[in-house]
Amino acid sequence: MERVWLSALGRDVSRVALGTWSMGGWMWGGADRDAACATIERALDAGIDIVDTAPAYGFGLSEELLGEVLDRRRNRSEVVIATKLGLSWDSRHEPWRDSSPGRIREEVVASLSRLRTDYIDLYQVHWPDPKVALDQTAAELGMLVDEGLIRAVGVCNYSGDQMQEFCSGGRLDASQFRYNLFERAAEEDVLPFCRAHGLVTLAYSPLARGLLSGKMKRGHEATDQARRGDMFHGESYVRHLAAVERLDEFAQERYGRRVIHLAIRWLLDQPGLTIALWGARTPEQIDAAEGVSGFTLDVSAMAEIDAIIAGELGA
């Protein structure tokens, strides 16, 4: 498993992180506690030592499951916990954004309890809150660092301008954003800002919510809430699946790998991209992560990948 040094934490971590959104069951048809815990165990055994979670993933459940596993294994210091703040929810599980200083204090206490730990390695603002000044949120998180409750500060789903405003109120160590072969909006201003400021970057949805796994088939359009949008329906779905098939052929012919490995490798070979989040619900879904290492994509391979996608999607 490839590793990278994180100066903000003073340690190295695997470049593939475990993503736990689907484990919580929200938008994924329910949760399976035993399978989720076994998945976390399998990831840690495979050398993945950074786990990304959030209170909103199962409304506390994903954090609880991670805390349960780490408590049982008694290896808290060997694992980097990246969790989030800024999404609250009501009794009907309807979420809203809240990054006010008072709410941040409530959230960090709740997350520490669910995770069974006394510190969080990377604490990330889940979404920008339009009702709270970004620099005010940054200042409050800086106080949590000073108090030893968190060790590094991150944001998720922030634009370059929003990160600039956030930085005016305090430190910023990391940025997490949606990024994959099919969804590249981060290249416009987010990645350039992160490179310019030396931020750790974490790409979520690296497999485009399953499209790049190679397992989705024509005639079987997704119906779950997690896979909304044009990519998963109608003619757009057919074109994206055709691109996946071509990319899979390319990966097999050139590297002896599959499209799932190519998609993650493409991310890890992007300038300024630090970590890719590998989402999983079952232990078996962790096994393919081993195929990400051992090869790199040169300039000609990157160009051929872009040509395949442009040819199939008309981009």
Residue 73 to residue 86: CA distance in whole angstroms:
29
Contact 130, 157 (CB under 8 A): no
Q: What is the DSSP string of 136-198?
A: HHHHHHHHHHHTTSEEEEEEES--HHHHHHHHTTS---EEEEE--SS--GGGTTHHHHHHHHT
Closest CA to 8 of 150, 177, 126: 150
Domains of the chain: 3-211+267-288 (3.20.20.100)
* The token pair that represents 278 in the structure block: 């590998």
What pLDDT band is residue 30 in, cutting at 50, 70 and 90?
Answer: low
- Predicted model pTM: 0.94
Q: What is the DSSP letter of 311?
A: H
Residue 159 to residue 176: CA distance in whole angstroms:
11
Question: CA 60, 140, 160 angle in degrees (round to 5)?
Answer: 85
Is the pLDDT at 142 greater than 90, yes or no? Answer: yes
What pLDDT band is residue 227 in, cutting at 50, 70 and 90?
Answer: low
Residue 16 to residue 34: CA distance in whole angstroms:
23
What pLDDT band is residue 222 in, cutting at 50, 70 and 90?
Answer: low
* Number of neighbours of residue 147 by Cβ within 10 angstroms: 10
Question: CA 145, 149, 154 angle in degrees (round to 5)?
Answer: 55
State pLDDT tens for residues 154-172: 999 999 999 999 999 999 9
Residue 237 annotated as catalytic: no
* Number of neighbours of residue 293 by Cβ within 10 angstroms: 17
Question: CA 13, 171, 51 angle in degrees (round to 5)?
Answer: 25
* The token pair that represents 84 in the structure block: 């989030």
Three-state secondary structure call for residue 17: strand
Task: List C-alpha distances in Å: 271 to 61, 77, 275.
Answer: 34, 29, 12
Average of per-residue pLDDT values in the chain: 93
How much is the pLDDT for 21? Answer: 87
Closest CA to 16 of 54, 36, 35, 42: 42
